[in-house]
Amino acid sequence: MSLPQQAQIVVIGGGIIGCSTAYHLARDHKADVLLLEQGKLTSGSTWHAAGLVGQLRSSASITQVLKYSVDLYKRLDAETGLETGWRMTGCLRLACNEDRWTEYRRLATTARSFGMEMHLLSPDEVKAMWPLMRVDDLVGATFLPTDGQASPSDITQSLAKGARMHGVRIVEGIRVTGFVMDGSRITHVETTQGRVACDKVVNCAGQWARQVGAMAGVNVPLQPVKHQYIITEPIQGITSNTPTVRDPDRRTYFKEEVGGLALGGYEPDPIAWTTGDVPDDFQFQLFEDDWDHFEQHLVNSIHRVPALEQTGVKQMINGPESFTPDGNFILGAAPECANMYVGAGFNAFGIASGGGAGWVLAEWVMKGEAPLDLWSVDIRRFSGLHSDRDWVCERTLEAYGKHYTIVFPHEEYASGRPRIVSPLYERLKGRGAVFGSKLGWERPNWFARPGDEPRDVYSMGRQNWFEAVGEEHRAVREAVGLFDQSSFAKFELRGPDAAEQLEFICANKVGKPAGRLTYTQLLNSRGGIECDLTVARLADDLFYIVTGTGFRTHDGSWIAEHLRAGSNATLVDVTEEFGTLSLMGPKARDVLATVAPGADVSGEAFPFGHVRVIEIAGHPVRALRVTYVGELGWELHVPIAATGAVFDALMEAGAPHGIRPAGYRAIESLRLEKGYRAWGADITPNDSPFEAGLGWAVKLRSGLPFLGREASERIAAAPLRKQLACFTVEDQSVVLLGRETILRDGEFAGYLSSGGYGYTVDRPIGYGYVRRADGVDEAYLRAGSYELVVANERVPARIELGPLYDPQNVRVKA
């Protein structure tokens, strides 16, 4: 086919993701789509993929994406006449130790929460299902019957045929060489056969996606890694119905392949291919067999299936797969380019994801926003840090090595650290800080006491920091704590139109007089919560916006994208210009009054929801009267170079009042008791403020227009189908993490969105949405009897409809 001169949408890449996206754009949206492939369809990494299809993930939305893939693969052949090779064999996941078994019992609970069938099996039941397997070292296994396997090339060809049937033009043997840009927009795609005018570009170029993105100034942080598996000769007893197997404690997987097995694994010492550009002509190619490196998987596989010792090998597949620094794939609107979307970095489960990823990416391209909560795979979860290819390689290899390791609660990555530190890093380290990492920033999670080992010791139960965090928590409740939150993302919106623009973008009323600050959500067109942040008005034409560390790219992009064209308002990222010290606790005012004698910090002169510029240690400080821990307190935003001096002054002044530094795990415990919501967990793009108990922060009565208003009016006028509620458990040994099933009167009613421990109320706390198609109100919530399913065990729970802790009334529910 010759190259057309124009198209509405150009999709780059003819692997499973590109073909799926093109298919859905044409089928669902009747879009005019041109797909460009530099070689032949599937010639990148799709053709040599193993083809395992699993569905369950920790995110409900991503699980929905993978379930959609299975549904599509089941029926696609009826539409196109081309088989996909789909077989629903089910999948066994083996557990060889008690920690893994606990993980699986939690996984089974998550499956139930997401409406999926998962069984917990004994070793004898595994043996009956898979007679060739050695089971004497097993504690048990899970079985998910709707998982299976498929033929990657067959699926892709079937999707391509379906795309053509719906009008997609596919041109093979053509390479993209660049883009013609008008500001941040692509106007034309340059190719080896000429130029194509277009409205939008979808970068599904697989392992080439990084360099394709770079042509438009877009960073796609992925790393090709060599991934090996072998295909054996036929084995007696292996049939087309044999379930796939994942044996993570031995880092291996198996699936039936022409009467034999395809087996591979995820080694702790992976081999990266290149941190440079991938050669354009690397098509339908493999690397040389590396039996020395693969030996570890072969030994573990023979242990699990002894018959393999006497079985021949037909072929080794050693090819590159694109992996990412956090093990999640990459979807969405590129923040650097107004009309490029990306679907790449599928971490060797592109076949499992392909159908659903193409569906949601097509929706995203056509509507300008994600159709679901896709935060865990959103390209805007990355930052400028991820343009460092060496750092991305190092972190990605760690993520690859963890592909099959036990997922312990609160586990941190270790590679590439420390990368970004606040001016207080050495001071806090000297006080026993144990750091975690968020978007490259080192942040104190907790402070080791004398005699404590200053590191995290991971376990599935209570971890070694539990008591130390309890002391930090109580210090904030009873005296005063000081948190280094310098990693907060910070923006200024400047200009005569700043107030008008923010008023439209924000759900709450932010056009207040200078000196006021507002807690607000930013909503999508469905009324879901896209951002959760504070806006402080410093002057008529200057607003200071503060949001979470990890949301820097996401929230900054959302605001910038929704500033109306031609408005006189400029968004500036000032994150590195200010350190942030949060002074919180009943004695916070005493400390602040000491270090800022020139400022009146009384409740009358400096009430909640206000901002003032005060002087501390000779430096101007933006003091925001706001809290995320449920106590009197201030966020103190300090010129970055002065952060150390202000910290020292606060610690010295606070010593008589019992001040102590505290970390992010104490913040989590404190906010759970007070009932503050966490974006990405309790509130997401799938949730409205009304469902989350935040309807008071939506300016419906104002009459002012704002993004998401129409949807909010519909939601507010109808019975709510879900409401966020708090649950407590009397058994103090229970560990709540989120995704635990909520039972109301013995029946499924939802699942927890977050969980932890409240040291003031001295019990586990969880938050989750209670769901009911006919509507949920306070009377319905109060009328039920509740249990939580924790690691597949029922635990009695009590529902709470207000804060567990109220410092003004000194009220603690217990």
User: Tens of pLDDT along 678-694?
Assistant: 999 999 999 999 999 99
Average pLDDT of span 296-305: 97
Q: Is the peptide bond before 444 cis (omega within 30 degrees of 0)?
A: no
CATH assignment of the domain containing 535: 3.30.70.1400
Q: Evaluate whether residue 184 is within a structural domain.
A: yes
3-state secondary structure of 18: helix
* Cβ 153 vs Cβ 46: under 8 Å: yes
Q: Evaluate whether residue 782 is within a structural domain.
A: yes
The predicted pLDDT at position 813 comes to 52
Nearest alpha-carbon partner for 632 in 578, 590, 596: 590
Average pLDDT of span 523-543: 98
Average pLDDT of span 579-588: 98
Q: Evaluate whether residue 725 is within a structural domain.
A: yes
Q: Evaluate whether residue 587 is within a structural domain.
A: yes
Is the model's pLDDT at 248 over the cut of 70? Answer: yes
Contacts of 270 (CB under 8 A, 6+ apart): 225, 226, 397, 400, 401
Contacts of 605 (CB under 8 A, 6+ apart): none
Average pLDDT of span 296-317: 96
Q: Where are the beta strands (DSSP E) in 563-642?
A: 570-573, 578-584, 611-616, 619-624, 633-639
Same domain assignment for residues 197 and 127: no
Same domain assignment for residues 25 and 164: yes
Predicted model pTM: 0.96
Cβ–Cβ contacts within 10 Å for residue 59, how many?
Answer: 21
Give the CA distances from residue 764 to residues 32, 398, 471, 724, 814, in Å, rounded to whole numbers and listed in that order. Answer: 53, 32, 16, 17, 11
pLDDT tens digits for range 193-245: 999 999 999 999 999 999 999 999 999 999 999 999 999 999 999 999 999 99
Which token pair is 6? 């124009």
3-state SS string for 451-495: CCCCCCCCCCCCCCCHHHHHHHHHHHHHCCEEEECCCCEEEEEEC
Examine the fold and report which residue of 551, 577, 603 is the final residue of a domain before the chain moves on: 577
The rounded percent of the chain whose pLDDT value lies above 70 is 99
Q: How far apart are CA 35 and CA 386, in angstroms?
A: 28
Which token pair is 439? 């978007």
DSSP-derived secondary structure letter, 208? G
Average pLDDT of span 729-750: 96
Same domain assignment for residues 217 and 162: yes
Same domain assignment for residues 240 and 129: yes
The predicted pLDDT at position 508 comes to 98
Is the model's pLDDT at 536 over the cut of 80? Answer: yes
Burial of 324 (0-12, 13-18, 19+ CB in 10 A): buried
Same domain assignment for residues 782 and 718: yes
CATH assignment of the domain containing 189: 3.50.50.60
Same domain assignment for residues 256 and 305: yes
Q: How far apart are CA 256 and CA 245, in angstroms?
A: 9
The predicted pLDDT at position 55 comes to 82
Same domain assignment for residues 162 and 278: no
CATH assignment of the domain containing 744: 2.40.30.110
Q: Which residue has the higher pLDDT, 368 or 53?
A: 368
Confidence of residue 413 (pLDDT cuts 50, 70, 90): very high
* Cβ 633 vs Cβ 476: under 8 Å: no
Q: How far apart are CA 404 and CA 220, in angstroms?
A: 24
Q: Where are the beta strands (DSSP E) in 324-417?
A: 330-333, 340-344
pLDDT tens digits for range 337-370: 999 999 999 988 888 899 999 999 999 999 999 9
Q: How far apart are CA 94 and CA 721, in angstroms?
A: 37
Q: How far apart are CA 519 and CA 509, in angstroms?
A: 9
For residues 91, 97, 103, 109, the Cα torsion angle rounded to the nearest 10 degrees is 70
3-state secondary structure of 809: coil
Nearest alpha-carbon partner for 584 in 632, 621, 543: 632
Q: Evaluate whether residue 413 is within a structural domain.
A: no
Same domain assignment for residues 49 and 110: no
Examine the fold and report which residue of 279, 298, 319 is the final residue of a domain before the chain moves on: 319
CATH assignment of the domain containing 597: 3.30.1360.120
Q: How far apart are CA 190 and CA 192, in angstroms?
A: 7
DSSP labels for 496-511?
A: TTHHHHHHHHBSS---
Give the CA distances from residue 334 to residues 607, 654, 785, in Å, rounded to whole numbers and listed in that order. Answer: 40, 45, 46
Residue 225, amino acid? V
Q: How far apart are CA 448 and CA 112, in angstroms?
A: 38
Average pLDDT over all residues of the chain: 95
Q: How far apart are CA 169 and CA 36, in angstroms?
A: 9
Q: Across-strand partners of 6? A: 197
How many residues appear in the chain? 814
Which token pair is 719? 């019975």
Q: Is the peptide bond before 418 cis (omega within 30 degrees of 0)?
A: yes
Give the CA distances from residue 515 to residues 512, 596, 606, 611, 708, in Å, rounded to whole numbers and listed in that order. Answer: 8, 18, 10, 5, 27
Q: How far apart are CA 751 and CA 789, in angstroms?
A: 9
pLDDT tens digits for range 500-514: 999 999 999 999 999
Same domain assignment for residues 97 and 64: no
Confidence of residue 792 (pLDDT cuts 50, 70, 90): very high
HSE-up of 739 (CA within 13 Å, CB side)? 23
Examine the fold and report which residue of 381, 397, 417 is the final residue of a domain before the chain moves on: 381
The predicted pLDDT at position 675 comes to 96
DSSP-derived secondary structure letter, 336? T
HSE-up of 594 (CA within 13 Å, CB side)? 17
DSSP-derived secondary structure letter, 364? H
Q: Evaluate whether residue 704 is within a structural domain.
A: yes
Backbone angles phi, psi at 622, to 5 degrees: -80, 110
Same domain assignment for residues 160 and 202: yes
Confidence of residue 602 (pLDDT cuts 50, 70, 90): very high
Same domain assignment for residues 28 and 100: no
Same domain assignment for residues 633 and 773: no
The predicted pLDDT at position 609 comes to 97
Q: Evaluate whether residue 315 is within a structural domain.
A: yes
The predicted pLDDT at position 172 comes to 96
3-state SS string for 148-201: EECCHHHHHHHHHHHHHHCCCEEEECCCEEEEEEECCEEEEEEECCEEEEEEEE
Residue 288 belongs to what domain range?
Answer: 91-147+224-319
Backbone angles phi, psi at 252, to 5 degrees: -125, 165
Report the domain count for the chain. 5
Is the model's pLDDT at 117 over the cut of 50? Answer: yes
Is the model's pLDDT at 743 over the cut of 50? Answer: yes
Q: How far apart are CA 256 and CA 149, in angstroms?
A: 9
For residues 547, 549, 550, 552, the Cα torsion angle rounded to the nearest 10 degrees is 60
pLDDT tens digits for range 429-463: 999 999 999 999 999 999 999 999 999 999 999 99
Confidence of residue 814 (pLDDT cuts 50, 70, 90): very low
DSSP labels for 643-704?
A: HHHHHHHHHHHHGGGT-EEE-HHHHHHHHHHHT---BTTTB-TT--TTTTT-GGGS-GGG--
Which token pair is 98? 């008690």
Q: Evaluate whether residue 116 is within a structural domain.
A: yes
